[in-house]
Amino acid sequence: MGVAVSEGRLTSPVLSAEKVSKSFGPVQVLFHIDFELRPGEVHALIGENGAGKSTLMKTLSGYERPTGGRILLDGQEVQFVSGADAEDRGVVLIHQEFNLADQLSVEANIFLGREPRRGPFLDSSRMREEARALLAELETNVDPQTRVMHLPVSDKQMVEIAKALSRKARVLIMDEPTAVLTANESRTLFRQIERLKREGVAILYTSHKLEEVKEIADVVTVLRDGHHVVTAPTSELSVDDMARHMVGRELVDLYPEKAPQPAAETVLEVSGFSVLRYAEDVSFTLKRGEILGFAGLVGSGRTELMEGLVGLRPAHGEVKVHGEVVHIRSPKDAERRGVAYLTEDRKGRGLILNQEMRPNLTLFGLDRFCNIFIDRRREEEALDQATQRFDIRAPHRRIHVGHLSGGNQQKLLLAKTMVVEPDIVIIDEPTRGIDIGTKQQIYNFVEDLARQGKSCILVSSEMAEIIGLCHRVVVMRSGRVMGELSAGDINENNIVRHAMGLSHNGGGRHDARH
């Protein structure tokens, strides 16, 4: 199993895979994988999107059955019949995509299927008390009685973690747990991981944030294209080593050279724009060929502002596109004006997971593929072009989008957005939950758009990509613009100071119009 890391240890694996293979029909996605999880250890599993990480995690936790090899629990072969069966035996998976019932309360979700009872009745007061204690451990202010549908994405993730902690797991499998968390929430999670380690819990942790893998993991295993590449103590691997093993090549320059300074022509002018409860009196301009970043903490109103601009939320204020005042009431209105929005929620709002790639690609611009009936041949041609242009990798074109890796879903969403040939592209969290190799592809794509004279608004919580890609940066806090940075002023210190409200150059209406 690659580099031996367990010699001399007194603990035996609590959960392991021996020569595990997995196929979906004729497509094999795992090839003879050996993998071990030991008590009191964080074992990181990393690789590009499509490397087989999620499939291995689901196989270890009962959501998939191996087509070859075997799973061992405490050294004995086990065949989990379901995820619930694995949970009953102490193996708990925190899904990357939320597995919550939106209509139910937080406390009901945490104890769903295991509700404490007092005689024939639910013990609601005990549920609420225990839920509140679990959430307090995670240092979150979520009210246990709140319906999950009303929570922001980061709070939903904390509920998923609280639900897993309530299971008292022996093995805890975490799939991208910090992808939607703030820095403070991530640190809280890391403290919980340290506590669980001390209690002897075995933790499988996967993340595309290699710096956090380096920080919290004891051992790292790398998969590539369904094959085991290496297993080694984290102390023996640098972040660059991990990236090289993942992609099979050196990543010399993650960010491309910035496109030339944008033209003087203003393509978008927003004045005194407000979105009820989320953004107030925001003003900014966008130039032709410019990448304009929007930075800020989670909850600063950036996403809601963009949704208001493209008609997904009620909003008011003046918007000019190419100098003409426009009234955008829906994404279709925005498209007619040459404006397209790529949502941060690719699985909830961006793609139809139980459909094939072709209808997902063409749905937003379907009128371009219709006379009286939909022209399937033109749709297939468009899919051919998209898969080549965006390097979308799928075992076959009839696959349901929900079975694609996160990176390939994101590239399909980009292709879908570009089908309507917009002049202005708003891209919200373009690299959330995707691997470093796919990130590099997306960065190159965004840069190429700017070089073609397209204009991009980039909303991102990744400080490095804001700094690495953008010509100017607008920083928001609590729904207001706190300042604008350009050229040499775009650095982490300045962005953080504005985002925390420590620097403020004068008010939303004027800050971003220089």
DSSP structure string for 108-141 = HHHTTT---EETTEE-HHHHHHHHHHHHHHTT--
Euclidean distance between CA atoms 48 and 393, whole angstroms: 12
pLDDT value at residue 449: 93
- Helix 124-137 to helix 153-165 angle, to the nearest 10 degrees? 110
> What are the two backbone dihedrals, phi and then psi, of residue 44, each rounded to the nearest 5 degrees?
-85, 135
Euclidean distance between CA atoms 262 and 237, whole angstroms: 40
Domain presence at residue 469: yes
pLDDT value at residue 504: 58
Domain presence at residue 282: yes
Number of C-beta neighbours around residue 507 at 10 A: 13
Say if residue 390 is in the same domain as residue 429.
no
Say if residue 432 is in the same domain as residue 381.
no
pLDDT value at residue 452: 93
Euclidean distance between CA atoms 312 and 186, whole angstroms: 30
Say if residue 267 is in the same domain as residue 290.
yes
Structurally, the chain folds into a number of domains equal to 3
The pTM for the full model equals: 0.64
Domain presence at residue 3: no
- Helix (H/G/I), strand (E/B), else coil: 456: strand
Euclidean distance between CA atoms 227 and 262, whole angstroms: 44
Euclidean distance between CA atoms 382 and 207, whole angstroms: 33
Which amino acid, residue 147?
Answer: R
Q: Using the 3D structure, point to which of 229, 247, 265 is the last residue of a domain.
A: 247
Euclidean distance between CA atoms 180 and 153, whole angstroms: 7
> What are the two backbone dihedrals, phi and then psi, of residue 474, each rounded to the nearest 5 degrees?
-100, 130
Euclidean distance between CA atoms 302 and 209, whole angstroms: 22
Domain presence at residue 479: yes
Q: Using the 3D structure, point to which of 421, 442, 471 is the last residue of a domain.
A: 421
Say if residue 163 is in the same domain as residue 269.
no
Say if residue 156 is in the same domain as residue 266.
no
Euclidean distance between CA atoms 389 and 415, whole angstroms: 8
- Helix (H/G/I), strand (E/B), else coil: 166: coil
- The domain of 381 spans 351-421
pLDDT value at residue 328: 96
Say if residue 212 is in the same domain as residue 276.
no
Say if residue 392 is in the same domain as residue 484.
no
pLDDT value at residue 263: 82
Number of C-beta neighbours around residue 485 at 10 A: 23
Mean pLDDT by runs of 10 across the 514 residues of the chain is 41 94 86 96 89 92 95 95 92 82 90 86 90 87 90 81 84 87 83 88 91 95 93 94 80 76 92 95 97 90 96 96 96 95 86 92 87 88 93 88 87 93 95 82 93 95 89 95 93 88 55 45
Euclidean distance between CA atoms 87 and 99, whole angstroms: 14
* Cβ–Cβ under 8 Å, residues 466 and 460: yes
Domain presence at residue 45: yes
Say if residue 183 is in the same domain as residue 312.
no
Say if residue 75 is in the same domain as residue 152.
yes
Structure tokens at 225: 């294209």
Domain presence at residue 154: yes
Q: Using the 3D structure, point to which of 361, 393, 421 is the last residue of a domain.
A: 421
Structure tokens at 42: 């964080």
Say if residue 20 is in the same domain as residue 118.
yes
Domain presence at residue 223: yes
Say if residue 96 is in the same domain as residue 118.
yes
The CATH number that applies at residue 70 is 3.40.50.300
Euclidean distance between CA atoms 477 and 485, whole angstroms: 15
Domain presence at residue 507: yes
Say if residue 230 is in the same domain as residue 263.
no
* Cβ–Cβ under 8 Å, residues 461 and 303: no
